[in-house]
A and B are shown apart, each in its own frame.
Chain A
């Protein structure tokens, strides 16, 4: 008989040992897959690692993938802290990208600092307004925020498509013949390009620094302020929160807005750091929002751990792009990434539960 029981106490050492063992198991399984598909395992792992962190420019590319993941990861983590499941990071990121790009175009010609601050503010506002919808529904009508925030993702994805492909909106590039055949977003003015800093060939985009700053703010907010205290109490026991006279509903809306705002800044960072236009295809294919949920879960909702996990996961994603080619199918890259995530997330089970294997006591009748 195998029984799974909840651990009464979670020993500290387990939280270190389990992830390490999980990664080892993942590599073991990956080795089997690679052997079965006739790829040299060690060489492949080496290439994977090189492409993510060691090659020339690899770290720069990793940061490009990691920056949006850090934003969406923080977005999810902030909400999870209060037991709110904001699955809408995806849509909130789009919303921030839309409002961020709009402000960039409107403010074109103003000093760069003004435009950039405007984009960040607009992105945050866009994400917050979108996230407020499931927040209000949850707070006042007990609607599941999981469903509503998820559904809104599709709504915003359609809006963003409509803005560029389905209409002659302000955001769509309508200059010249090419633009009317291949619709795309208007190129943002130069002032809207976010600065980046190069250190020994490693290019750090402004967005990455903003993400770090947001993580610090979130940490401070949750650990050192009354607001954060209320969030932890309500997250732990909503009844205790009401008992202590906390305004639970307001807090739900506030946390959802904060969560959405962070994803929204991530959207603005997409405009300013990397894409320099409202890019529906690129945004909707990247799935940053959903990956952010995984990031938050792996980081156990700790804002600094989110940064680290986003970086590692960004590396894995980036390595995937580099690895795939004629001799290495795209699907196999997905299998390797999936194995790693599966093992690490699955390993969480062993921290919270323990598996007991009980041998059934044989009765005399059975042995006879």
Chain B
């Protein structure tokens, strides 16, 4: 198994990492035969074109080289089946090509390689057969030679039997959120958002579709000021936003429903009441000067809990004891109570039951009705097609296409999501 996130011991050498967890012969003796191990690792890397110095320390290596170490680890243990989980996510294009050669070489030696990817071109380039998974289910297995990006995309997103019930056209006002050439790095320091330009107008829902991990989270965080942009500008109602400053974003009227409810959107150990004023504690009625008005905060929380039907035994319950749907209600209640201009919602229905999803959708519609510009980021194409007025597709950090929601077809969007042209 080659994980997407590497399992390597950074201060150790390549050879040491390769034998780690290997119990066949070195485990039986006390001594590590470093020379022999290094020689064997060297042979393997020659044979499969995995150029890496066995004596180098992991922390000295690039991500691409680290991945080769992961593969060497599996080969050293003589693995017959290799599972590669999105191996190209961390690679440069030329590194990807080298990896494909390695995969081919391994397959020629009679090893089985399972290559997990959401990039259709790669799948076509390297695989013999392709299996499509959708929502945890295996949908179909087809020979790669017969597949076209178009046919794979159709299988990936699926054809809805029931045509998505679309919202009618909304009355749309002037632009309230404008992004111009915004770029940002991901957590690993690689570019995650590339030159994104888009406009959201008052009273409109702009859906951002895309397979998870294509920069949507980073984009949302950049707009919300939690991630410093590497370039570009964000404007709210025409005024330029101070980059990478969450407080400025809140002040400008950007409400943000983060993907990670418990931990980012809410402080798990704090009470519901405290979480309700997470953003508004700086001003009345939650506080006066430096003082926190504890009783007022409780009253505020009780009122909001009632209005948004949050099921909890009281405002003093720690947030972590609430169910997912109720947590999302608390987040939404708070974000709406701040009278936002723009609402950025990242996967707002993930992990919720049907009733919870309905509630969230109702809130989003309601927000648009009241003239809020909504940016809805979701991996659920049906959700986006139901709610959004326009749909932008994000792939590898860039917006690869924008369509009117009423005319876009599932196939067309699926192809864009998978990086096809």
Which residues on A sit within 8 Å (CB–CB) of B260?
A: 239
A-B interface contact total, Cβ < 8 Å = 76
| A225-B292, A226-B281, A232-B274 known; A244 vs B246 contact (CB < 8 Å) | yes
The reply to whether A243 and B256 contact each other, CB–CB distance below 8 Å, is yes
The reply to whether B264 and A239 contact each other, CB–CB distance below 8 Å, is yes
Q: Of residues 11 to 42 in A, which have CB atoms within 8 Å of B's CB atoms?
A: none
The reply to whether B274 and A243 contact each other, CB–CB distance below 8 Å, is no
A176 at the interface (CB under 8 A from B): no
Residue in chain A with minimal CB distance to B225:
A245
The reply to whether B278 and A244 contact each other, CB–CB distance below 8 Å, is yes
Which residues on A sit within 8 Å (CB–CB) of B106?
A: none
A46 at the interface (CB under 8 A from B): no
Instruction: Please report the C-alpha to C-alpha distance between residue A368 and residue B267 in the assembled complex, in whole angstroms.
Output: 55
Which residues on A sit within 8 Å (CB–CB) of B278?
A: 233, 240, 243-244
Classify chain A's interface size.
20 to 34
Chain B binding surface SS class? loop
Q: Chain B 312-341, CB within 8 Å of chain A: the 1/0 string?
A: 000000000100000000000000000000
Which residues on A sit within 8 Å (CB–CB) of B8?
A: none
The reply to whether B249 and A237 contact each other, CB–CB distance below 8 Å, is no
Select which of B269, B281, B292 is within 8 A of A236 by beta carbon. Answer: B269
A224 at the interface (CB under 8 A from B): yes
Which residues on B sit within 8 Å (CB–CB) of A227?
A: 290
Residue in chain A with minimal CB distance to B279:
A244
Select which of A224, A232, A239, A241 is within 8 A of B291 by beta carbon. Answer: A224
The reply to whether A223 and B263 contact each other, CB–CB distance below 8 Å, is no
Residue in chain A with minimal CB distance to B278:
A244
Select which of B247, B258, B292 is within 8 A of A245 by beta carbon. Answer: B247
Which residues on B sit within 8 Å (CB–CB) of A245?
A: 225, 245-251, 279
The reply to whether A240 and B290 contact each other, CB–CB distance below 8 Å, is no
Select which of A223, A230, A232, A243 is within 8 A of B264 by beta carbon. Answer: A243
Instruction: Please report the C-alpha to C-alpha distance between residue A241 and residue B224 in the assembled complex, in whole angstroms.
Output: 13
Residue in chain B with minimal CB distance to A232:
B270
The reply to whether B263 and A240 contact each other, CB–CB distance below 8 Å, is yes
A228 at the interface (CB under 8 A from B): yes
| A226-B281, A245-B249 known; A240 vs B265 contact (CB < 8 Å) | yes
The reply to whether B270 and A233 contact each other, CB–CB distance below 8 Å, is yes
Which residues on A sit within 8 Å (CB–CB) of B105?
A: none
Instruction: Please report the C-alpha to C-alpha distance between residue A243 and residue B268 in the assembled complex, in whole angstroms.
Output: 14
| A229-B281, A240-B267, A242-B226 known; A223 vs B294 contact (CB < 8 Å) | yes
The reply to whether A243 and B291 contact each other, CB–CB distance below 8 Å, is no
Q: Chain B 186-227, CB within 8 Å of chain A: the 1/0 string?
A: 000000000000000000000000000000000000001110
Instruction: Please report the C-alpha to C-alpha distance between residue A236 and residue B271 in the assembled complex, in whole angstroms.
Output: 11
CB distance from B253 to the nearest CB of A (A): 13
The reply to whether B250 and A237 contact each other, CB–CB distance below 8 Å, is no
B266 at the interface (CB under 8 A from A): yes
B386 at the interface (CB under 8 A from A): no
Instruction: Please report the C-alpha to C-alpha distance between residue A230 and residue B292 in the assembled complex, in whole angstroms.
Output: 11
Select which of B250, B258, B264, B292 is within 8 A of A226 by beta carbon. Answer: B292
Which residues on A sit within 8 Å (CB–CB) of B267?
A: 232-233, 236-237, 240-241
Which residues on A sit within 8 Å (CB–CB) of B258?
A: 243
- Nearest first, the 4 closest Cβ-Cβ pairs linking A and B are A245-B247, A245-B246, A236-B267, A236-B269
Residues of B within 8 A of A (CB): 224-226, 245-251, 256, 258, 260, 263-270, 274, 277-279, 281-282, 287, 290-292, 294, 321
Task: Sample 30 A-B pairs with CB under 8 A, ordered by A number.
Answer: A9-B321, A223-B294, A225-B290, A225-B291, A226-B281, A226-B292, A228-B292, A229-B292, A232-B267, A232-B270, A236-B267, A237-B266, A237-B267, A239-B260, A239-B263, A240-B266, A240-B278, A241-B267, A243-B224, A243-B258, A243-B264, A243-B278, A244-B250, A244-B278, A245-B225, A245-B245, A245-B246, A245-B248, A245-B249, A245-B279
